[in-house]
Every structure is written in C-alpha cells, then in structure tokens.
C-alpha cells in the first residue's frame, strides 16, 4: 500500500535537508560519491537525538541491558562462523543491452531493465557477497584479508562471555550497541534509506531457550511502541512477520517494523529470533565454551537470542518524513503565509530553543547574550539575529525548533521575554528568572 499524502514529500524533505544543513551529498564538491551522505550541523544533532532516544530506552531505563562499543574490524574467522562469508549475498544480474547491474530479486514484473527499459535478457544470476573486503597491514595477501563489519551484532556475540562474566548478568539480559556498518549494496538509493555505510542500533537479548517465543513477542511490541512514542503516527508503522522463505540463515522467526515511506512500506527494523545459532557457531570456530550455567536450576544451556536491529539512518529519515508539514502562519502584518514546519518530538528536534532579539540594535544584544548564556547549559539553543522576526520564526519552524524566545524593547524594563510555541504559534510572556524551568516543562525534559 502506498501511503496517502504528498507525492512530492520525498523531494521536499531531501531539498530541505540540503538547504538547511541536515544532510549533504558526500564529497559534494566532487559531484557526490555513489549514494553516500554527510550529516550537517543540524543533521548530526537530529541523528544523535535518535540514537540517544534509543540508548535511553534500551539501556538507561532498564536494568537488564548493558552497552558495548566493539571494533569495526574483527577477526576474519568471525565472518566464517557467522555464515556471512558463505551466505551474505544478493543475486546479481547484468542487462545485456546497457550492462546495468541489478538485483535479480528486485526486477520489475515486466522483466524490463529498470535502467534502459530493454526487454533483452539478463545474464544468469550470480551470488555477490555484500561484505567490503580490505587488507590489514602493508601486505595485500590472503592472510591479511579483513572485512568491514556488515552488522554490529557479531561484536556482541563474540563479547558475550566477556560481558556476562564481568557484569554477572543472568539470562534474560541484553547487550546493546550503536555503530557503523558497511554493505556493498548493489542498488543503494532513496536518500539515506539504503546506503553502503550506515549506522545500526542493535541489541542482542540472551534468554533461556524455552523463553525465546515470549521475549520475541515482547520485543516486537516494545520496539513498535518506541516509534509511536517518538511521534510516528500509528497508521504509518506496521508489523510484518517474514514468510519462511524470507528468513535469514540464522532466524527461526523475524518480524519487521515497517514505515509508510513515500514509495511504499519499507523496513525500519527487524526483530529476529536468532536461536542459539551465533553462540554455537562461535563456540565451534573459536573453541571457547559459550554456554551458560544456571545455578538455580542446575542446568547448562546455550542461550537463545532475540535481536531488535534498527537502522539509525532509516529511523532518522522516517522521523523527518513523518514530521514534515505545511500550513499557514500570520506574517505579523495582518496577512498569512505558507510555512513549512517539522513537527518533530522535542526530544528529537536538533535545536530546542531559538533566542531571537527583535532587533539587532545594540540595546538588545547584552540581554540576548545574558539569556543565551543562561539557557545554553540546559538546552541546545540557536541565536538568530538576521532578518525580520516573522522570517526567523519560519526558519526555526522548518527545522523543527519547538520553542522560540523573543527579546524585545520591553524586556529591558520588565525582564520578561515572549515564548512562542512551534505548533500552536501561541505566545506567552515569561519572566527571565523563570525561563529555564518554564522551557524545561514545555519541552518535557528534552535538552
């Protein structure tokens, strides 16, 4: 089902992202580089807020999950054990007419080449491994081969014993990690939706085998709730269980959380029951015993793993798309004009508070400085001096700033400022002395 709404939404969001410094094409001055993207000053704040919200809900607010930051380069044997060397492949075909390379499983039903439209046949499908290969050290031979990790999960599995023994956690418990991941995708595209370098937010939850079905259901519901809580409307996110032929080599069951992207439903996150596959494989390949001894029940077992695995870039894109809106706002001269507004949850908004002196005149600048200094330790703020106040509100609205604080000539006498709300556009006069507490209340603690 294609989502209802603006057919140009994607274009509008990509343009806004470039225009306002959220996301730039990578190596822009060289004409870009193969679907790679750089997060600009506002984008880095937005994506960090997404990752922080994930970390807060997955680690900080729980007593059964701990964190990890494992290296991107790992022993090559890890990828043999995990099955990635043998099976992490996509079927690749070439168009005999224009030589375009495509994924055989993503060809249009018409059978025509998506690049040139030719109905000439494609080459036989061959398996293409998605891992980026490199060499460690100065000698480029088979012994120095290493891979850039294609998922963060394996860094967690190989540290299972280290973490379990140092934290003394007992299953059920989880290890969470956020980090860069690399896949040599055949067909990257749709902005940051599918890229070759991206960030994952993954958690491996180790459980007694008989509890795996229960925890699988729990994590599907919990992760669904996370997206709703941060402002994705209910009709824009759905749970889709995988068919058996769609399952990854390690999975006994997977459900995807999908978002209604402008081109149709697309995966935001997969929740998988990875069974004891990974720990058993690593025990076999490394020779380490990765079982757990449950003293209370006097039994030894290899834990099963429930894995919620999300993409930080895809989530960021989904939050941007869901937040994008256009409406009308008063200009201040009795007229109304169209405005673009990102209705981001305050926890995700890059800037929480904008400080706007009504005029650039010297008389207001010391006060502006005073207010900015008072707010900075508490909130991510922006001070904007340039242009008419209406235009400055519009600029903050289109990057999703929830609150603007305006300093005017009355502030000099009454030491009060005007606080304007992004969504309702309501304005209220607040004494400077109460400003931090008032803003904190209105932002629901977001900083």
Interface with ligand GAP (CB under 6 A): 151, 153, 183, 185, 194-195, 198, 200, 202, 267-270, 307, 309-311, 313-314
- What does the block give as tokens for 22? 């959220």
Cis geometry, peptide bond prior to residue 287 (ω within 30 degrees of 0): no
Token digits of residue 296: 């209370």
Q: Nearest-CA neighbor of 274 among 254, 294, 290, 300? A: 254
Structural tokens at position 435: 């400003």
Q: Shortest distance, CB of residue 164 to ligand GAP, whole angstroms?
A: 20
Nearer to ligand GAP, 256 or 397 (CB): 256
* Integer Cα distance of 399 and 324 in angstroms: 10
Of residues 179 and 400, the one with the C-beta less far from ligand GAP: 179
CA 252 to chain centre: 25
**Residue closer to ligand GAP, measured from CB, 252 or 380:** 252
CB of 401 to ligand GAP, least distance (A): 27
- To ligand GAP, the closest distance from the beta carbon of 196 in angstroms equals 7
Q: What sign does the dihedral 71-77-81-87 (CA atoms) show?
A: positive
C-beta of 3 vs 390, nearer to ligand GAP: 3
* Nearest approach, Cβ of residue 282 and ligand GAP (Å): 15
Q: Which is nearer to ligand GAP, 270 or 402 (CB)?
A: 270
Least distance between ligand GAP and beta carbon 83 (Å):
12
The residue (of 36 and 331) whose beta carbon lies closer to ligand GAP is 36
Q: Which residues contact 396 (CB under 8 A, 6 or more apart)?
A: 351, 354, 356, 382, 384, 404, 422
Bridge-based pairing of strands 126-129 and 101-103 is unpaired
- Could you give the CA distance from residue 76 to residue 312 in angstroms, rounded to a whole number? 26
**What separation, in Å, do the N-terminal and C-terminal C-alpha atoms of the chain show?**
37
Nearest residue (CB) to ligand GAP, 278 versus 408: 278
Pick 227 or 393: Cβ nearer ligand GAP: 227
Of 389, 388, 360, 355, residue with least CA distance to 374: 355
Alpha helices in 236-364 (DSSP H): 277-286, 312-323
Residue in the structure block whose two tokens are 């109905």: 119
Percent helix, strand and coil across the chain, each to the nearest 5: 35, 30, 35
- CB closest to ligand GAP, residue no: 311
435-442 helix and 365-375 helix, angle to the nearest 10 degrees: 60
Rounded-to-integer distance, Cα 100 and Cα 85, Å = 25
CB of 251 to ligand GAP, least distance (A): 9
Beta strands 237-241 and 197-207: pairing type?
unpaired
CB of 311 to ligand GAP, least distance (A): 2
- By beta-carbon proximity to ligand GAP, the closer residue of 269 and 382 is 269
* CB 204 to ligand GAP: min, Å: 9
Q: Min. distance of Cβ 297 from ligand GAP in angstroms?
A: 30
Closer to ligand GAP by CB, 306 or 381: give it: 306
Residue 3 carries which DSSP code? Answer: P
Q: How far is CA 154 from the centre of its chain?
A: 19
Min separation Cβ 295 and ligand GAP, Å: 31
């Amino acid at each position: 089902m294609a989502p209802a709404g603006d057919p140009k939404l994607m274009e509008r969001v990509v343009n806004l992202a470039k225009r306002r410094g959220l996301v730039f094409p990578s190596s822009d001055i060289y004409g870009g580089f193969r679907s790679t993207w750089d997060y600009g000053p506002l984008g880095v704040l937005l994506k960090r807020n997404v990752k922080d919200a994930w970390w807060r809900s997955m680690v900080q607010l729980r007593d059964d999950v701990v964190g990890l930051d494992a290296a991107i380069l790992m022993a090559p044997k890890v990828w043999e054990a995990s099955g990635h060397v043998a099976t992490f492949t996509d079927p690749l075909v070439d168009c005999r007419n224009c030589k375009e390379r495509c994924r055989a499983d993503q060809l249009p039903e018409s059978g025509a080449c998506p690049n040139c439209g030719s109905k000439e046949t494609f080459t036989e499908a061959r398996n293409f491994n998605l891992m980026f290969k490199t060499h460690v050290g100065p000698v480029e031979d088979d012994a120095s081969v290493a891979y850039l990790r294609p998922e963060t999960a394996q860094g967690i599995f190989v540290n299972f014993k280290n973490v379990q023994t140092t934290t003394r956690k007992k299953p059920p418990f989880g290890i969470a990690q956020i980090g860069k991941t690399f896949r040599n995708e055949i067909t990257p595209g749709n902005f940051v939706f599918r890229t070759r370098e991206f960030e994952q937010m993954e958690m491996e939850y180790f459980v007694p085998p008989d509890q795996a079905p229960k925890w699988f259901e729990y994590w599907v519901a919990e992760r669904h709730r996370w997206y709703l809580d941060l402002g994705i409307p209910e009709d824009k996110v759905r749970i889709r269980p995988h068919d058996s032929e769609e399952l990854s080599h390690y999975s006994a069951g997977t459900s995807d959380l999908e978002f209604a992207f402008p081109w149709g439903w697309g995966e935001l996150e997969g929740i998988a029951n990875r069974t004891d596959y990974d720990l058993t494989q690593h025990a076999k390949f490394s020779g380490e015993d990765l079982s757990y001894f449950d003293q209370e029940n006097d039994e030894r077992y290899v834990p099963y793993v429930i894995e919620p695995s999300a993409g930080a870039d895809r989530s960021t894109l989904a939050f941007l798309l869901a937040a994008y809106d256009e409406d009308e706002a008063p200009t201040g001269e009795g007229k109304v004009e169209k405005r673009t507004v990102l209705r981001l949850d305050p926890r995700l908004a890059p800037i929480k508070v904008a400080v706007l002196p009504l005029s650039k005149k010297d008389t207001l600048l010391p006060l502006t400085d005073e207010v900015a200094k008072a707010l900075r330790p508490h909130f991510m703020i922006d001070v904007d001096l340039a242009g008419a106040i209406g235009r400055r509100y519009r600029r903050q609205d289109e990057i999703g700033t929830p609150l603007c604080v305006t300093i005017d000539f009355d502030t000099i006498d009454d030491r009060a400022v005007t606080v304007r709300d992004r969504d309702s556009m309501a304005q209220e006069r607040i004494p400077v002395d109460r400003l931090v507490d008032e803003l904190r209340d209105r932002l629901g603690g977001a900083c």
